[in-house]
């Protein structure tokens, strides 16, 4: 499978433009799905404590390496620090749990999952802690970031970054970070192109990973009214026309639109046909007009908003 990569700063690591999302993959199938994704050519896996399946994802990776499908060095593994571990003493604790669960010696990219600090929950009480009772326990981001930097110095993390941060939070972080954030990981799909934030982050040397690339699809199953009320992207007229023109699917057009603009994608699918289809995006090119049409579709419609489901309005 032909793929391309982005160079991360300051490490110089290469991050594949195409990756595989592991949120909501059930524990009992995660090892098998990850193994099949590696067989299909995926090299980046987007994981998180919060997804509750890092042990099983790690088992899939381990088997693929043992079977000679891939080496550890050819893989790029991302994970994320959950909201209940923002205190400096909890960052290494949470990181080491993730590392052990995944069965790895190092992680390629570790992200602060949200700019939200919730009260610590001991592992014995609940893991992953999820949003729990959403009791906030404010920790300044500079404290969390310094602990993230220590992970880089330990050699167990190659790159650090942030997820669900706004431009203002990034400006603040960049003012003191000794190890600059390598990646900004945010919701990006045709209904929310996040163009201004992406432009700003790229101008500051960060690479972008867009998540929930298929927009409402992932949130309908969570019961989101906003997702249910939106026209599914797979049925949207402009996208369908562009897809027909290239003899590709709408999913492939959406992913192509992103990677063509140097935004890394991490589609999730447990279906082998779709999983292969989503990886087949490096052999066609969208015209400037087609790119503009998709850029013009932003409503904007944000689907992953803790202001809605956790009453913590980080985008207000």
Asked if 218 is part of the footprint of ligand NAD (rule: CB under 6 A), the reply reads yes
Give the shortest CB-31-to-ligand NAD separation in angstroms.
16
> Mask of contacts with ligand NAD, 101-140, x by CB under 6 A?
------------x---------------------------
Question: CB burial class (10 A; 0-12, 13-18, 19+) of residue 291?
Answer: middle
CA 81 to chain centre: 12
Q: 85 catalytic, yes or no? A: no
Residue 121 or residue 255: which is nearer to ligand NAD going by CB? Answer: 255
Asked if 164 is part of the footprint of ligand NAD (rule: CB under 6 A), the reply reads yes
Asked if 56 is part of the footprint of ligand NAD (rule: CB under 6 A), the reply reads no
Residue 21 or residue 152: which is nearer to ligand NAD going by CB? Answer: 21
CA–CA distance, 138 with 164 (Å, rounded to integer): 17
Give the shortest CB-23-to-ligand NAD separation in angstroms.
3
- Per CB under 6 A, the segment of 30-38, 61-69, 95-103, 268-276 that binds ligand NAD is 268-276
- Per CB under 6 A, the segment of 124-132, 269-277, 291-299, 307-315 that binds ligand NAD is 269-277
Asked if 163 is part of the footprint of ligand NAD (rule: CB under 6 A), the reply reads yes
Asked if 158 is part of the footprint of ligand NAD (rule: CB under 6 A), the reply reads no
Asked if 113 and 80 count as a contact pair (C-beta separation under 8 A), the reply is: yes
Q: Which two tokens stand for residue 155?
A: 């050699």
Asked if 129 and 82 count as a contact pair (C-beta separation under 8 A), the reply is: yes
Q: Which two tokens stand for residue 300?
A: 């904007």
Question: CB burial class (10 A; 0-12, 13-18, 19+) of residue 123?
Answer: exposed
- Per CB under 6 A, the segment of 85-93, 175-183, 213-221, 308-316 that binds ligand NAD is 213-221
Give the shortest CB-101-to-ligand NAD separation in angstroms.
16
Residue 234 or residue 309: which is nearer to ligand NAD going by CB? Answer: 234
Residue 234 or residue 284: which is nearer to ligand NAD going by CB? Answer: 234
Give the shortest CB-124-to-ligand NAD separation in angstroms.
26
* From 35, 51, 85, 219, active-site residue: 51
Give the shortest CB-44-to-ligand NAD separation in angstroms.
10
Residue 57 or residue 121: which is nearer to ligand NAD going by CB? Answer: 57
Contacts with ligand NAD in 243-262 (CB under 6 A)?
A: 249, 251
Residues annotated as part of the active site: 51
Residues at the interface with ligand NAD (CB under 6 A) = 21-23, 46, 113, 163-164, 185, 211-214, 217-218, 234, 249, 251, 266-269, 274, 277-278, 304
């Amino acid at each position: 499978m032909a793929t391309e990569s982005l160079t991360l700063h300051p490490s110089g690591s290469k991050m594949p433009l195409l990756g595989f999302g592991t949120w909501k993959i059930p524990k009992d199938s995660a090892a098998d799905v990850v193994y099949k994704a590696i067989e299909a050519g995926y090299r980046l896996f987007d994981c998180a404590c919060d997804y509750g399946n890092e042990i099983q994802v790690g088992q899939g990776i381990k088997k693929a390496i043992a079977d000679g499908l891939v080496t550890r060095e050819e893989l790029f593994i991302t994970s994320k620090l959950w909201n209940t571990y923002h205190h400096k003493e909890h960052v290494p604790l949470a990181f080491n749990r993730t590392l052990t669960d995944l069965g790895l010696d190092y992680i390629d990219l570790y992200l602060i999952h949200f700019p939200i600090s919730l009260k610590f929950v001991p592992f014995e009480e609940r893991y992953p802690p999820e949003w729990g009772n959403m009791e906030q326990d404010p920790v300044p981001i500079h404290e969390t970031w310094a602990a993230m930097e220590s992970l880089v110095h330990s050699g167990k993390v190659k790159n650090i970054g942030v997820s669900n941060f706004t431009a203002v939070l990034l400006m603040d972080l960049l003012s003191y970070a000794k190890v600059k954030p390598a990646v900004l990981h945010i919701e990006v799909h045709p209904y929310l192109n996040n163009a201004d934030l992406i432009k700003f982050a790229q101008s500051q040397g960060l690479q972008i990973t867009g998540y929930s690339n298929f927009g409402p699809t992932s949130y309908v199953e969570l019961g989101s009214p906003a997702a249910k009320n939106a026209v599914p992207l797979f049925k949207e007229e402009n996208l369908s026309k562009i897809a027909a023109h290239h003899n590709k699917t709408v999913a492939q057009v959406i992913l192509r639109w992103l990677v063509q603009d140097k935004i890394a994608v991490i589609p999730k699918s447990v279906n082998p046909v779709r999983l292969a289809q989503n990886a087949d995006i490096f052999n066609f090119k969208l015209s400037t007009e087609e790119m503009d049409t998709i850029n013009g579709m932003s409503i904007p419609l944000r689907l992953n908003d803790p202001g809605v489901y956790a009453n913590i309005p980080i985008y207000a």
